[in-house]
Every structure is written in structure tokens, then in C-alpha cells.
Structure 1
């Protein structure tokens, strides 16, 4: 599919690097950029208990004072967060006016439980969400953004780690294939990237020929599909030798000078943060390569 609308999510305390990356990608393909700036409160404000502020003297006086002081700190934190959001929003507007005019900027100040929903609403109306280095390394906000943009929408995410050359026109792409629905969706979502690449390698790790799932020649079916869409495809069957599949794919991407890895994202609701952490550690520890994920 063509990428005509990109979403970039950033924290109010992040640098503008992720937005610059997303703006560069928009300029590359002529897409519209939506920026969401988030600042989840460190404390969740709760409604005051009944008769708050009218204590039974003197037994409840100290408790009432403590409750009032806590709420004052919560209100002060909320005000500081909003001020930070507004300041960052002005800076991003100024940056994008000078670099890319097709954009909008929105802010969201919500508790942790609401971050995923706030991101989901925006990601549903975007073709691709960009996760840049700052967001990738934010262990409090990053997993929640992945949760809302990837798992709750079915829309793809492009992870751009530190040091990676972000592009939506890669020359060489490695596809991690295992005949599962998630891998199939990743291929379909990345079809325009794959059909425009000079070389696409479909990597199958520890393939087992069967009459049903993988076929007699694992990878041949998806290679034929991509060929019909104009992609220049080869199939590589790899042995893991007991290593994790992600490690095998990362090393093979290095060996073949790939510009991007396309693969399905797996994980139940309970495993989402674990998956994000695993992908993050994998990306950080391996040479920088953009990772195109779909669920």
C-alpha cells in the first residue's frame, strides 16, 4: 500500500529527533505527518473521598491535611505537564513550518491506562506509525505506544533505532517468513516497499516441508506472490543452530547488507511489553536496521 499519512508519537521531554525522522520520511514519499506529543502524568488524580476537607476534629485533621497536600502536588504536576506539552508543541510547530508544511500537531496528557487508547485513535487513521530512537528508548512510554499503534489497530509500525538510515525506499529488504498470519500481514502492508526494492530476500529459519502449512518448498509460495507484484525475490532457508530466530535474522540481514527487515509481530496481550522489550534489546544490541512490523 502507499504511505500517504504517517504518525509520529513523542514524549514532551524528548528531543525533536524523532519528528525530524518522520518529516524526512514524509518528504521522501509525499505523505502527511501527524504528530502526537504525550506526557503521561506521574500521578493519577482520583476524586476526593466524601466529606473531603470537612474532617472530624481532631482525629481526622492530620489525614485531611495529608490528602489536601497530595492533591495539591497532583494538580501542580498536571499543570507542569501541560506547560511542558504546550512548550514542546510550539517548538514542533516551528520546526515543521520550516521543513514540512503538510502536518498537524496534537497533545495528550493522560494516565498510563489511557495512553494506548489515545495512540490507537490516531493510528487508526494513519498508514504507518514511526517509532524513533527517543521513543524506542523510553521504557515508560514506548511499550504503551507500541501497544496502541500496533496491537490494537492492525496497522504497521516502522521502528527506526539509533544510527539507522530511515527510508521508505529501501534497496535491499529481508523478509522474515514463517507462513503465519502476522508475517503475511507484514508482507501485504510493506508491499509497496518490497515491489520497489532492488532485492528482496525471503528468509525461512529451520523450515520443515509439509503438505499443508509451509508447502513442499517453504517460502516458495510467498516468493511467487511477491513476484506477481513486481518484486525481485529470492528465498533463503537458514538453520538456526539453536540460536533465537531474531538473532539469526539480524545476522543474516547484516551479511546480506539489508536496509530493512520486514516481519510479523507476535505476542498475546500479556506478552506485549515483553515483546517490545525484546525487540528493543535486539535492535539496540545489533547494527542499526529499520524494522517494519505488522500484526
Structure 2
């Protein structure tokens, strides 16, 4: 079992330069075929007061800039994959709705894993404003590369943020190829409560037993609820205490998933994290 088809979100040439090395390492590890996906958003038509007439020259200038970015992104992606001997292909589409387009979703839904890079500014550029819908609707696990990681490294230690939810379960099983290849995996049980089947102290033991049957070297750590300590703070502290290469967690929130990733609880986590993060919904 592995990620035989990886879809790389190639939104800008700058991000592609950083993303290529990570994608190439994953492709070599799992013998993957890599699809570079770029969506060129059609320029909005500006209006000129007082008659509100579309300005064709401005529209063309904006579109020319976007197309130049597309060509540069393709060049950087192709060079990176060729240099590493990776089987790859380029898919570029133009649409007024960008990554929300049906064409991009079809590509994403046929991939084993989506890889995207976090922007250093945490701000969505015009070309990425609709990636939230793309990621939310894809139904596939997403591996986020934090902007502070400048070079790939082997994934030896994995931390699973476990709260027994559907999202956490989905993320855990989507991460199986990484878990099997890792030297150690820790199920970090956080924000759990006593129930009829088990106590909070034993939460995570059943999923750990399941993972052990896959031959995974897994341990369980339980974080009891502490008043005033939010779950993301507990995870953050655990990441700081240990040398974690990959965090596995469920993606929570509403349909604007990308907005959630860079806002609220998860943004707090990503602001200071040093590990790659696999998220599923």
C-alpha cells in the first residue's frame, strides 16, 4: 500500500520551487506518478466609471501576468521532476472559479495524496482564494508542507492527534503508508472524556492495537483535560517536546476548509509547528 499517484498543488512558481523537492522525495519513496495541477483563474473584468465599461486593456494585462505565472510554474515543476527521474505530467486549466472547477476536482479525486505548501504570509493570494473548496471537496488526504521547512527529511517519527472522531479516524487510516514506514508512531489522545466503553486515560488504546496489527511500532500517550488548556495547545506542546516529523490529524470545520486551516485553532498550530501535517476530512 502506498501513494502511487500524488497530486501537487502548483499555485505559484515560488511555491513550486519549494514543493518540488518534497514531492520528489515522496515519489521516490512510494514509486509514485506525480501530477502537477495549476489553475489559472480568469481575470475579473474591471469597470471604468462613470459608464462602467469593461477595460479590455486592463483585462488583457492581468491575464497576461497570470499566464506568465502558469508558464513559469510549469517550467519549474517539469525541471524538478525530470532532475529526479520522476514520472510526471502537467495539468493546467483556466477557469473563472479556479480550483473549485470540476476539472481540478476530478484530478484531485483520482489521486492517492494531495500535497500543498503553506504560504509564509498565511494570506491567500488571488490565485488561491478558492483552494479551500478544492481541498474540502476533494475527499482525499492532504499533506501540508509548513513554510519553515526548506528541505525534505525522512519521516521517522509520527504523532497522531487522536480524539476518536470520524475525521481523526479517516486521517489515521489515510496515513497508513507513512505509519508503516516510520520508526515510531505515537497516538496522542487529547480532549477525550470518560464514556461507557472506556475511560479517558485508556482512549487511543484500541486504535493503537489496530495499528500494531499492521506491524506499526506504536505507543499511546493520554493528555487529560486541563482547564484553560486548549487541545491545540496540548498538541503544540507535544510537538515541542519531541522530534516529530509528521503530524496526523482530522480536519475540522465547515466547508471553507482552507480558511479554517489558516484561521482559528489550526492556524495557531501551524504558526509554530515544525512538522509536516497530514489532514483528512
> What interval of TM-score do these two structures reach, taking the shorter chain for normalisation?
0.7 to 0.9
Number of residue pairs matched?
274
Q: Greater Rg, structure 1 or structure 2?
A: 1
- The match for 1:34 is 35
Which protein has the bigger strand share? 2
What TM-score comes out, normalization by structure 2 length? Answer: 0.85
Alignment partner, residue 282 of structure 1: 269
Task: Return the match for 2:248 from 252, 256, 262.
Answer: 262
Asked if 1:4 corresponds to 2:4, the answer is: yes
1:101, CA displacement in angstroms? 3.6
Equivalence for 1:172: 157
CA distance in 2, matches of 1:44, 1:280: 33
Give every structure 1 segment of 4 or more consecutive aligned residues whose post-TM-superposition deviation is greater than 6 Å.
Answer: 213-216
Cα 1:44–1:124 shift into 2, 3 Å = farther
- 1:6–1:129 CA contact under 8 A, matched in 2: yes
* d(CA) in 1 for partners of 2:26, 2:247: 17
Q: Check whether the contact 2:148–2:274 (CA below 8 A) recurs between aligned residues.
A: yes
Contact 1:160 1:166 in 2 (8 A): no
CA apart distance, 1:85: 1.5
Higher mean alpha-carbon deviation, 130-139 vs 117-126, is at: 130-139
Q: Is this contact kept in 2: 1:25–1:166, CA < 8 A?
A: no
Cα deviation for residue 212 of structure 1 reads 4.6
State the secondary structure of the residue aligned to 1:155. Answer: coil
Check the 8 A contact 2:201/2:222 in 1, yes or no.
no
Deviation at 1:172, TM superposition (A): 1.4
Tell me how far 1:105 sits from its aligned partner: 1.4
Pair 1:23 & 2:8 matched: no
Q: What is the aligned partner in structure 2 of residue 291 from structure 1?
A: 277
- In the TM superposition, residue 248 of structure 1 has moved relative to its aligned partner by 0.9
Equivalents in 2 of 1:251, 1:214: separation in Å?
Answer: 23
Please tell me whether the aligned partners of residues 204 and 238 of structure 1 are also in contact (alpha carbons under 8 angstroms): yes
RMSD over aligned Cα, in angstroms? 2.8
Distance 2:65 2:280 in 1: 36
1:28-177 mapped onto 2 (5 Å cutoff): 28-44=29-45, 63=51, 66-68=52-54, 70-111=55-96, 113-117=97-101, 118-134=103-119, 137-140=122-125, 141-142=127-128, 144-149=130-135, 151-164=136-149, 166=152, 170-177=155-162
Gaps of 5+ in 1: 47-61
Shift of 1:232: 1.6
